[in-house]
């Protein structure tokens, strides 16, 4: 098998991730609920991961690291904290449905949003489009750091500066960048929330995510219940992380996520260098194949899309799967990105990398695709 679908989830994980998750299942109870040894061990495990994530992303206070089910969960918390009373939001033209759908669902609450459409691989155009979409009614800006369709690295630093100048809070969707690109929240003046999954480039188990709460902004929980704190109160605690972490946490997943974070922290530069070189090699190889359209440019990270002339992307992906190559095809839950990139309605075939994809895998993929093209 050649696994090239890490933008959906990194299937291959460091062995320490599996061991930590299994150990937690054997030894950890419910954190914050009891004073016995298994409960205390669980609490220590969870806090150790908070500390690891805080250090990794430049957070001074580990309590501002909130564990979620995934990036979608984190984005919903961020969006509904900033816009639960309504208001206008500007989003980039490359946002995922995990941003678009929560905003659309809040229209009856008075929420409106404007996609700032800009050309692919044009950072200056992206900043210009966002600047032009901001109105006096705008309450926040949401930016997808790296497109999950094209791997296009949007200009986070420039948009952060723009938002800081306008006094607007910024929500960063780091689903494809966390663990791949440097991300230090201390360098972001306007970032209110940074949202990410644990199961992609942080190499944690599925069912894990992180919300970094960077500013003193009132939080808005979308799920109320037991937190192990202030149990006499009928209202949800208003402090972090308890206010956003109702119910039993995914302790085995969090234990594994800590090991994933440690793995990336130790090997980040090596991983980034290998992925960059391999992505360039695959893009070059695809570009040399007749009848293949490649969406490659700069800046780009970890992900690229392509289309085969005369073949539906879904059919191409299915044929590759029959030959042992795992890719993803279609709209990738991001029709807005395909609208911006000009790849509607069929979408593209997406190749996405991880630390465990080798040059041999890349060569094998290109060889198998070439054989498939001969059969058309």
Taken in order 226, 227, 232, 237, is the CA torsion positive or negative? negative
Per-residue pLDDT of 261-303, as tens digits, reads 999 999 999 999 999 999 999 999 999 999 999 999 999 999 9
Boundary residue ending a domain (228, 262, 296): 262
d(CA 231, CA 54): 27
Report the domain count for the chain: 2
Same-domain check for residues 158 and 273: no
Same-domain check for residues 284 and 305: yes
Same-domain check for residues 68 and 164: yes
Closest to 337 measured CA to CA, from 113, 94, 120: 94
Per-residue pLDDT of 188-244, as tens digits, reads 999 999 999 999 999 999 999 999 999 999 999 999 999 999 999 999 999 999 999
Residue 300 has what DSSP assignment? B
Same-domain check for residues 285 and 144: no
Residue 289 has what DSSP assignment? S
Residues making up the chain, counted from first to last: 376
Same-domain check for residues 246 and 274: no
SS3 (DSSP) at 252: helix
Q: Cα angle at 204 between 198 and 210, to 5 degrees?
A: 25
Backbone angles phi, psi at 286, to 5 degrees: -65, -40
Per-residue pLDDT of 48-73, as tens digits, reads 999 999 999 999 999 999 999 999 99
Same-domain check for residues 150 and 291: no
The CATH number of residue 134's host domain is: 3.40.640.10
Boundary residue ending a domain (262, 293, 317): 262
Same-domain check for residues 370 and 256: no
Same-domain check for residues 240 and 323: no
Per-residue pLDDT of 340-351, as tens digits, reads 999 999 999 999
Per-residue pLDDT of 159-192, as tens digits, reads 999 999 999 999 999 999 999 999 999 999 999 9
Predicted confidence at residue 187, as pLDDT, reads: 97
Same-domain check for residues 254 and 279: no
Q: Which segments within the chain are labelled E, that is strand? A: 2-3, 65-68, 87-92, 111-116, 138-144, 170-173, 191-197, 209-213, 292-295, 303-308, 325-326, 328-330, 348-352
Boundary residue ending a domain (240, 262, 284): 262
Predicted confidence at residue 129, as pLDDT, reads: 98
Same-domain check for residues 287 and 165: no
- Asked whether residue 376 carries a pLDDT value surpassing 90, the answer given is no
Q: Using only C-alpha atoms, what is the Rg of the chain?
A: 21
Same-domain check for residues 95 and 240: yes
Mean pLDDT on 4-19: 98
Mean pLDDT on 322-347: 98
Predicted confidence at residue 272, as pLDDT, reads: 93
Residue 224 has what DSSP assignment? -
Same-domain check for residues 209 and 293: no
Mean pLDDT on 94-112: 98
The CATH number of residue 363's host domain is: 3.90.1150.10
Residue 302 has what DSSP assignment? S
d(CA 134, CA 326): 40
Closest to 349 measured CA to CA, from 300, 309, 290, 301: 309
Judging by beta carbons within 10 Å of its beta carbon (0-12, 13-18, 19+), is residue 247 exposed, middle or buried? exposed
C-beta separation of 151 from 181 below 8 A: no
Supply the range of the domain harboring residue 291: 2-9+268-375
C-beta separation of 179 from 203 below 8 A: yes
Mean pLDDT on 8-30: 98
Whether cis (ω within 30° of 0) applies to the bond prior to 252 is no
């Amino acid at each position: 098998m050649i696994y090239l679908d890490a933008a959906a989830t990194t299937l291959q994980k460091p062995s320490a991730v599996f061991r930590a998750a299994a150990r937690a299942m054997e030894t950890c109870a419910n954190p914050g609920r009891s004073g016995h040894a298994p409960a205390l061990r669980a609490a220590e495990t969870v806090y150790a991961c908070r500390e690891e994530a805080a250090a990794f992303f430049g957070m001074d206070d580990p309590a501002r690291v909130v564990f979620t089910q995934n990036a979608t969960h984190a984005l919903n918390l961020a969006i509904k904290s900033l816009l639960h009373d309504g208001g206008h939001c500007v989003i980039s033209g490359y946002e995922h449905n995990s941003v678009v759908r929560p905003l659309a669902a809040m229209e009856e609450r008075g929420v409106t949003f404007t996609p700032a459409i800009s050309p692919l691989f044009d950072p200056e155009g992206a900043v210009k489009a966002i600047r032009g979409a901001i109105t006096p009614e705008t309450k926040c800006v949401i930016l997808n750091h790296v497109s999950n369709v094209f791997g296009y690295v949007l200009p986070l630093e420039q948009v952060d500066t723009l938002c800081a100048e306008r006094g607007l809070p910024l929500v960063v969707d780091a689903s494809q960048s966390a663990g791949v690109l440097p991300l230090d929240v201390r360098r972001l003046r306007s970032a209110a929330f940074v949202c990410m999954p644990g199961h992609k480039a942080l190499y944690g188990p599925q069912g894990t995510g992180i919300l970094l709460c960077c500013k003193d902004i009132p939080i808005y929980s979308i799920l109320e219940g037991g937190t192990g704190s202030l149990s006499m109160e009928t209202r949800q605690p208003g402090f972090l992380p308890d206010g956003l972490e109702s119910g039993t946490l995914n302790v085995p997943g969090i234990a594994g996520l800590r090991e994933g974070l440690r793995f990336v922290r130790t090997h980040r530069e090596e991983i980034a260098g290998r992925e960059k070189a391999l992505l360039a090699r695959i893009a070059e190889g695809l570009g040399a194949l007749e009848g293949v359209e490649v969406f490659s440019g700069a800046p780009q990270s970890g992900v690229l899309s392509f289309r085969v002339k005369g073949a539906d992307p879904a059919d191409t992906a299915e044929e590759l799967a029959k030959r042992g190559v795992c890719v993803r095809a279609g709209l990738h839950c991001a029709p807005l990105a395909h609208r911006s990139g000009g790849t509607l309605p069929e979408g593209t075939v997406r190749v996405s990398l991880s630390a465990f994809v080798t040059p041999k895998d890349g060569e094998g993929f290109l060889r198998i695709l070439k054989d498939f093209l001969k059969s058309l």
